[in-house]
């Protein structure tokens, strides 16, 4: 399972909401999930002291290397997805993320 927390760039909240709605209704998310072995892709919009942000979760057999594979893909759906991540979040998957990857401390089930 992968989890990321990314800010929404200033002035991009409405564009993010529209992108999220379009992504879900277009079938692009189902295509992306199918190709990368993801069984769930979820996003929560949260308000932080620094402004709006998104907590995104992707899980399934392909979740461990999803972001790395997405970064190197030239599939049309993936390119649109990566362009939107850069435009709305300032996230450039061609560059390593700043700081360490998230570290799990609690994972209680059942």
For 12-50, how does the pLDDT look when each residue is reduced to its tens digit (9 = 90+)?
999 999 999 998 889 999 999 999 999 999 999 999 999
Percent of the chain with pLDDT over 70: 97
Evaluate whether residue 53 is within a structural domain. yes
Evaluate whether residue 31 is within a structural domain. yes
pLDDT of residue 4: 87
Evaluate whether residue 20 is within a structural domain. yes
Q: Which residues pair with 57 in a beta bridge?
A: 3, 42
pLDDT of residue 109: 77
Evaluate whether residue 16 is within a structural domain. yes
State pTM to two decimals: 0.84
pLDDT of residue 57: 93
Task: Identify which has the larger pLDDT, 98 or 91.
Answer: 91
Residues 6 or more apart whose Cβ sits within 8 Å of residue 59? 1, 2, 38, 39, 40
Evaluate whether residue 43 is within a structural domain. no
- Quote the CA–CA distance of 38 and 21 in Å, as a whole number: 19
Evaluate whether residue 28 is within a structural domain. yes
Backbone CA torsion sign across 42, 44, 45, 48:
negative
Evaluate whether residue 105 is within a structural domain. no
pLDDT of residue 106: 83
- Supply the range of the domain harboring residue 63: 6-37+48-89
Cα distances (Å, whole numbers) of residue 44 to 5, 47, 73, 106: 9, 10, 25, 19
DSSP-based three-state secondary structure for 62: coil
Take residue 7 and report the two structure tokens written for it.
């800010």
pLDDT of residue 104: 79
Are 80 and 28 spatial neighbours (Cβ–Cβ below 8 Å)?
yes
Number of domains in the chain: 1
Evaluate whether residue 33 is within a structural domain. yes
Does residue 98 surpass a pLDDT of 80? no
């Amino acid at each position: 399972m992968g989890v990321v927390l990314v800010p929404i760039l200033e002035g991009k909240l409405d564009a993010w909401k529209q992108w999220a709605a379009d992504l879900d209704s277009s079938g692009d998310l189902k295509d992306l999930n199918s190709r990368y072995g993801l069984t769930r892709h979820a996003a929560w919009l949260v308000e932080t002291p620094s402004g709006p942000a998104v907590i995104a979760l992707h899980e399934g057999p392909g979740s461990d290397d999803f972001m790395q594979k997405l970064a190197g893909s030239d599939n049309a759906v993936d390119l649109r997805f990566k362009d939107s991540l850069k435009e709305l979040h300032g996230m450039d998957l061609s560059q390593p993320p700043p700081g360490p990857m998230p570290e799990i401390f609690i994972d209680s089930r059942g």
